[in-house]
Structure 1
Amino acid sequence: MAMVGHLLILAVVAMGLSFMGAAADKGTATFYTPPYTPSACDGFEEEGVMIAAASDAFWANGAACGHRYKVTCTGATNLGDPHPWRGSRSVVVKIVDYCPAGCRGTIDLSQEAFASIADPDAGKINIAFKRI
C-alpha cells in the first residue's frame, strides 16, 4: 500500500514539473527588414523568412542559434492600438541572428513573421514566447 502511495506522489510531482516547462516567457517583439543575410548564426546561409534575432534576454553567446520558438502576440505596447494581432496570433520562428545591445524587443522577428501575427504599423507588441 505504501508503494502505491509513493508512486502516486511521484506521478503528481512529475506532472507538476512537466506543466512548469510548458509556461511561456513574456516579452516584446519588434521586426527587422530584408536582407536577412549575413546573420550571426549562419553567415550567408539562407534560412527563409520565418526567422528571428534573439536579444540578450536569451541569446546566451549564440547558444540560441537554431532553436525554434513559438511567438504569440498578446497585445499592444501602446494604448493607441489595443488589438494589433492578426491571423492565428502565433508564429514559429528559428533563431538565426543576434539583436545587439539596445535591441528594442526581447525578440526581433523578420518582417514576414511579425506581419503574420500583428499589424506592422504597431511596430512593437507584447508577446509570450516558448522554445519548442
Structure 2
Amino acid sequence: MMKFLFKTFIAILLIVAGYFAFVYYASYSEGVRAGELVKFTRKGVVFKTWEGEISQGVSEAQIFKFSVESGETKVIEDLNKYQGRLVKLTYFERYKSLFWLGDTQYFVSKVELNTSNNEQ
C-alpha cells in the first residue's frame, strides 16, 4: 500500500512540475507593440511585480498592459527612464499568468525609444 501511495505522490508531483515548467517556458506568442508609456509601477503585498501600460491610441480600449520580470534590470531601468514617451516594446505571451511573476500574460523582454517620424 505504501509503494502505491508513494508512486501516486511522485506521479502527481511530476505532473504539477511539468505543468508549471510548460507554463513558464512555453511561449504562446511574441511580438512588438508601440505606444506612449503611461504607467510603470512596482506593486504587490507579498510578491512585488513590475506592471505597466502603454497607450496605443485615443480610446481606452487601446491600452496594452504588460509585466516585467524582476531579473530584467535593463528593461526596468529603461521603462523608468522613458515614462511618458513613445516606446517600442518587444514582448512574449505566456499561456497563463503566474502571480509571483506578474499580473498579465505579456512579459516585456526589450524596450526601445520609438524614434519614428511621427514623434515631434
TM-score relative to the length of structure 1: 0.35
**Would you tell me which structure has more helix in proportion to its own residues?**
2
TM-score relative to the length of structure 2: 0.37
**Would you tell me which structure has more strand in proportion to its own residues?**
2
